[in-house]
Structure 1
Amino acid sequence: SLGMALTALTTSVLAFGVLRFFTGLGVGIIVATGGAIVAEFAPAGRRNFFNAIAYSGVPAGGVMASLAALALEDAIGWRGLFMIGATPILFLLPAAWFLLPESPKWLVATGRSMRAQELCLKFGLPESQFLTKPVSREAAAKAHVTPSSPTGKSGFAAIFSRVYLPGTLLIGTMSFMGLLSTYGLNTWLPVIMENNGASAAHSMYTLLFLNGGAVVGGLFASMIADRVGAKAVITVTFTLAAISLMILPFTNNVYLTYIPIVIAGVGVLGTQVLTYGLTSNYFDTSARAAGVAWCAGFGRLGGIVGPMATGLMIGAGFGPTWAFGMFAGVAVIGVICTVLIPKSPAVEQVISTEPTASPHASARVTEGVS
């Protein structure tokens, strides 16, 4: 919020760039920790849907930004639009400070079980789900299961360990491809559509349909992902993106172009939402925040490459067919990476720490599906 407000006051390109970088740091941290805490609180069978609700805020914000620009830019200019972007400090920061609890699972894992119990009582959280601690290697051996942390490490050391490394690299590449297309299309889609014969007004509305399709389609796809698995759904959505982007430049009717654009929104932006959900579920608690940070951070490199590569193609005189073909090819690479992701080595196994449990009950090991 501070970065957005200060950006609105800049008078040079250098200051503008520095403050956008500063703003990006805040956004990146929100994306990483937000996904981790949603995964901590979400019911085991609805994690993809809960993640989709959280991350659909990205394309929903894109819709709101497009509407604000269309309605207000002539009246308040770009500086006023950046001031609107600073308003979360007035309502979202207080809400998060007073209403968002710390993860009880994380508190238990760091030895603060009493604080975790207080939070469960305050917010009505089921103790059987949240008052748990990771299985020790000794307890796991006695129970003939593996520890909840398959690496014995935490953070980035865990996600780049031998156990997680193949999945980490493939998830990073998926996110890179997804955000390459997301930022490339959000930046250049109106220009590409104008080059394809659409009017300036219709070209601006394409962003609304792109992001609107991502919001609705991402939520719907996430509900299916909770039933059949995120990997299968992401494979389908990436494929839909590739097909819709390939046929888009050959759709002559202006209004009919909105159909493949909506599908592309689901397949590109919606897929990125599902990728965050898959990442949150792929890593165990000790590595979850680092895993989501890697997914978001490495993916942001694609968010840099996408607009640059598209701009270079347009500047070099390549037509819409080439631009959409590039995005379709990127989606195909996403399909391949998704198919190759191995099964997660993380298994949710915990020992109950309920205060009322007997000594025998407290040693009970419960195993779930990650």
Structure 2
Amino acid sequence: MNSAIGGTGSEYRSPGGSVSGWSSPKHRNSVLWIVALATAAIVFDGYDLVVYGTVLPTLLDDPTQLGNLSAGTAGVLGSYALVGVMLGALMAGAFGDRLGRRRMMLINIVWFSVGMGATALAQSITSFGMLRFFTGIGVGGLVATVGAMIAEFAPAAKRNTYNAIVYSGVPLGGVLASTLAILLEDHIGWRGLFWIGALPLVVLLPLAVVKMPESPQWLLARGRYDDARKICDATGIPMPTVTAKPSATSDVVGEKVGFAALATKPYLKPTLLLGFMSFAGLLLTYGLNTWLPQIMENAGFNAKGSLAFLLVLNGGAIVGGLIAARMADRRGPQRIVATTFCIATFALICLTLGLPLPVLLAAVAVAGTGTIGTQVLIYGYVSNYYPTSARAAGVAWCAGFGRLGGIVGPMIGGLLLGAGISSGTAFYIFAGIALAGAGVTLLVPAKSELPTPVALDTIRVPLSVQD
């Protein structure tokens, strides 16, 4: 079990000596609980993302709900939540590497649950937009935190797969939102759908308080050896071995922590490129999830049929994203992310060809893999790219800067539809963005080209701390 604090994460050895195995059934159960809780939390990120798109036709058609709402205003309104997500992600990056993974998780579960419940009570376009912004802060903090957490708990050979499982909660939440909208909106209205988004406060938070430990790797990076040992003893998670004793305020990359570490010379270029990758991925994700039902309704499908396209889009993202993640664990994430961006380009162009319905649905599913599924892979790629002291900041940067793309996506859709531009033109624009995302991905320097952190190479940790 040799790893340096500030490296890419702990490598665990099973009793038989195989790298990335489980050290005990207790270890495996603890990690699977963490993955399950993180996935459940992220499901509601996806739910929050897609539920707005599912209720948008109702809000556009019925001014008695919130007021008169035009397509352009609806696109801007959809972006309010994303501004909040960007702010929440950046706040998590600023504080997450200092406050810890567990504390940030619990805070943000409470935050976005309260926001969703309050949004269900909105009586005007203004209050609806403000509460969407508020909710977005909690969602952004959550997205930025879970990647760092999974990277520090998951065995090395399973990190991309477990990250994909967790972040597949986004399209799974989209499937949940689409399904519940089809089944329940006529009965509980759009407000009832938002009340469902508040359920984590009562069903998820109590479980997270009991079953979600702090990361031992993060504790060691902060010099809290006794706390790390207690958690490892209680959960069966192996105690990472460190080669140097970190201080309580800094640990790697020239003794810089969080965003300051990202600004150092070795990490500046890849940080910018990774940010633009996420920008492209989230522009596609939010643009399609917000406007696909309306685009398909304009193309002649009825309301429930257009929602079915949203379900297929997110379902394709789940299946395709998990398959791609397995390939990323074997071949490396960079090549796979570039490939899935290219797949999105092809699929989005196919949507303009007037295909028969079965083929059209298949193309939508493939588009889900190449857009939403690609963003799932990007989160895993980023969370494993950075050292411990900059991991939450790195994921937060990509989630935060990327949300600028998420803000632009719904606005592009709203402006195009408001101007009477055809759906085919919108799909071509999205396809060009996917192709640009593939190009940016190929420019990211490999981790092997970056220097190994050396700030902690002089002081040995006492033997009592090591396994």
Q: TM > 0.5 between the two?
A: yes
Does 2:218 align with 1:114? no
Does 2:360 align with 1:296? no
Equivalent residue, structure 2, for 1:257: 360
CA RMSD of aligned residues (A): 2.2
Does 2:336 align with 1:226? no
- Checking the alignment, whether the CA contact within 8 Å between 1:104 and 1:119 is kept in structure 2 is yes
- Alpha-carbon distance, 1:251 to partner: 3.5
Equivalent residue, structure 2, for 1:123: 235
Pick from 29, 51, 65 the counterpart of residue 141 of structure 2. 29
Change (3 A) 1:10 1:201: closer
* Matched letter for residue 342 of structure 1: P
Pick from 242, 253, 257 the counterpart of residue 132 of structure 1. 242
Does 2:190 align with 1:87? no
1:151-170 correspondence runs (5 A): 151-170=254-273
Farther-moved stretch of structure 1 (153-162 vs 99-108): 153-162
- Alpha-carbon distance, 1:337 to partner: 0.6
**1:193 & 1:221 partners in 2: Cα distance?**
28
- Checking the alignment, whether the CA contact within 8 Å between 2:347 and 2:367 is kept in structure 1 is yes
Q: Deviations over 1:60-96 (max 9, x none)?
A: 0011011111111111111111111000001111111
Equivalent residue, structure 2, for 1:141: none
Does 2:156 align with 1:44? yes
**1:354 & 1:97 partners in 2: Cα distance?**
31
- Alpha-carbon distance, 1:238 to partner: 0.3
**2:347 & 2:318 partners in 1: Cα distance?**
17
The answer for unaligned runs of 5 or more in structure 1 is 137-147, 365-370
1:145-294 correspondence runs (5 A): 149-294=252-397
Equivalent residue, structure 1, for 2:117: 5
TM-score by length of 1: 0.89
Identity %, equivalent residues: 53
Equivalent residue, structure 1, for 2:90: none
- Alpha-carbon distance, 1:269 to partner: 0.3
Change (3 A) 1:6 1:249: same
1:299-310 correspondence runs (5 A): 299-310=402-413
- Alpha-carbon distance, 1:356 to partner: 5.0
- Checking the alignment, whether the CA contact within 8 Å between 2:293 and 2:303 is kept in structure 1 is yes
Q: Deviations over 1:105-139 (max 9, x none)?
A: 11111111111111111111122xx3536577xxx
* Matched letter for residue 203 of structure 2: F
Q: Deviations over 1:227-246 (max 9, x none)?
A: 10000100110000000101
* Matched letter for residue 31 of structure 1: V
1:316-327 correspondence runs (5 A): 316-327=419-430
The answer for unaligned runs of 5 or more in structure 2 is 1-112
* Matched letter for residue 51 of structure 1: N
Equivalent residue, structure 2, for 1:62: 174
Q: Deviations over 1:269-316 (max 9, x none)?
A: 000010001101111101000000001011111111001111111111
* Matched letter for residue 14 of structure 1: T
**1:6 & 1:239 partners in 2: Cα distance?**
40
- Checking the alignment, whether the CA contact within 8 Å between 2:342 and 2:434 is kept in structure 1 is yes
Number of aligned residue pairs: give it: 348
- Checking the alignment, whether the CA contact within 8 Å between 2:221 and 2:388 is kept in structure 1 is no
